[in-house]
Structure 1
Amino acid sequence: MHNSALFHPALRVVHWLMALAVLAMLFIGVAMVMDISAARPVLLAIHQPLGVAIGGLVILRIVLRGYLGVPPMPASVAGWQRTLAHLSHLALYLLMVAQPLTGWAMLSTAGYPVTLWHGFVLPPLLPVSVEHYAVLRPLHTLLAYSLFACILAHLAAALLHGLLLRDGVLSSMTGWRRGRSEKQ
């Protein structure tokens, strides 16, 4: 287990890679829905492999988190806030696993391949089915909105801890140390 007040460097690197990838993916997804015809093939060519990469990164992150552990929350954080933080992290992890899986399943049921790069295509998760596609398409969108909402809540909590409370929660993931209340 990692005993420092900071997240292990491997967890910090994976966290920030995922943050960039997920935010890029959300913007790409919105642009795809806007159906800018000229850009759509390029966006799809980025969207699919990026979704698979995010799925792989979240699995790596879960494994690293289990192996390396996480720093304890400061004693100043109330029990109900710890519970809420735990539940919100669980929701983020579940959504980051479910989102690429529903996208892959959705494309499979529509008969479209998931192409990671030229010549490398993932096998379909499900058989072609208009009925399943009709469920998975809106589910993929709902999960994207839910993920976006969880990210906004996560960001708000991080900013609360970093800018107002200055209790070390944000700096445990950034690695930055400053402020009187944060001990080296």
Structure 2
Amino acid sequence: MNAVHPRFSPAQRVLHWLMAICILAMLFIGVGMVSTVRPDYLTLVSIHKPLGIAILVLALIRLVLRLVRGAPPLPAAMPEPMKLVARLSHVVLYALMIALPLIGWGMLSAADYPVMVLGVRLPAFLPHSNALHSALWNAHRFLALCFFALILLHLAAALLHALVRRDGVFESMASWR
């Protein structure tokens, strides 16, 4: 990691907010997909697959940036349990940003469904297996619900730092300040 910086870099901030939009859209598209059998289902699937791959690529870039540049230090006055929860929640957020698209891609590979991105068919990386497809579908659904809950907690923590604690944590990621 490089020297300690008081804010995330512009690239880190842009990726954070871009991914926030993409991930929220993805979660709502996913909910829409599993709750409809109308023709809209195919439209939602055609958005969901490439958006998942885009999120995977962005998450990997973001992870590299985080490992290279690091993150601003948490305030010294912040209680240690709160610091621990912040660090662990970020590890889980990164893990889910990477795992969910990979599980989705694996699920489609196991079902022998194509994943197309910009007209290119991505290779299947798991063998065709209905049982594996079912297990991965259940894992994808469960982890997406966990991800949604974690995002709500992340949002609540951001609001706590911005409106109550006013300790600079929110400002380190807010690009407009």
- Write the distance in 1 (CA, Å) between the matches of 2:129 and 2:118: 25
Whether contact under 8 Å (1:2, 1:70) holds in the other structure is no
Give the CA deviation at 1:158.
0.5
The TM-score with structure 1 as length reference comes to: 0.92
Cα gap change, 1:144 to 1:163, in 2 (>3 Å)? same
Other-structure match for 1:113: 114
Please identify, of 43-52 and 109-118, the stretch whose mean Cα deviation from structure 2 is larger: 109-118
Other-structure match for 1:67: 68
Whether contact under 8 Å (1:49, 1:115) holds in the other structure is yes
Cα displacement string for residues 85-142 of structure 1 (whole angstroms, at most 9, x for unaligned residues): 0100011111111100110010111110111133x11000101101111211110100
- Write the distance in 2 (CA, Å) between the matches of 1:29 and 1:137: 12
Other-structure match for 2:7: 6
What RMSD in Å do the two structures reach over aligned CA positions?
1.1
What pairs up with 1:148-163 in 2 under 5 angstroms? Answer: 148-163=148-163
4+ residue stretches of structure 1 with deviation over 4 A?
A: none
The TM-score with structure 2 as length reference comes to: 0.95
Whether contact under 8 Å (1:2, 1:71) holds in the other structure is no
- Write the distance in 2 (CA, Å) between the matches of 1:2 and 1:163: 28
User: What amino acid is aligned across from residue 130 of structure 2 in structure 1?
Assistant: V
- Write the distance in 1 (CA, Å) between the matches of 2:175 and 2:24: 21
- Write the distance in 1 (CA, Å) between the matches of 2:17 and 2:95: 18
Please identify, of 34-43 and 60-69, the stretch whose mean Cα deviation from structure 2 is larger: 34-43
- Write the distance in 1 (CA, Å) between the matches of 2:103 and 2:4: 36
Other-structure match for 1:57: 58
Aligned residues: 176
Whether contact under 8 Å (1:162, 1:171) holds in the other structure is yes
- Write the distance in 1 (CA, Å) between the matches of 2:134 and 2:59: 27
Cα displacement string for residues 36-56 of structure 1 (whole angstroms, at most 9, x for unaligned residues): 422112111111110001001
What pairs up with 1:19-98 in 2 under 5 angstroms? Answer: 19-98=20-99
- Write the distance in 2 (CA, Å) between the matches of 1:35 and 1:76: 48
SS in structure 2 at match of 1:121? strand
Whether contact under 8 Å (1:26, 1:148) holds in the other structure is yes
% identity of equivalent residues: 50
- Write the distance in 2 (CA, Å) between the matches of 1:124 and 1:151: 30
- Write the distance in 1 (CA, Å) between the matches of 2:40 and 2:87: 39
- Write the distance in 2 (CA, Å) between the matches of 1:3 and 1:58: 22
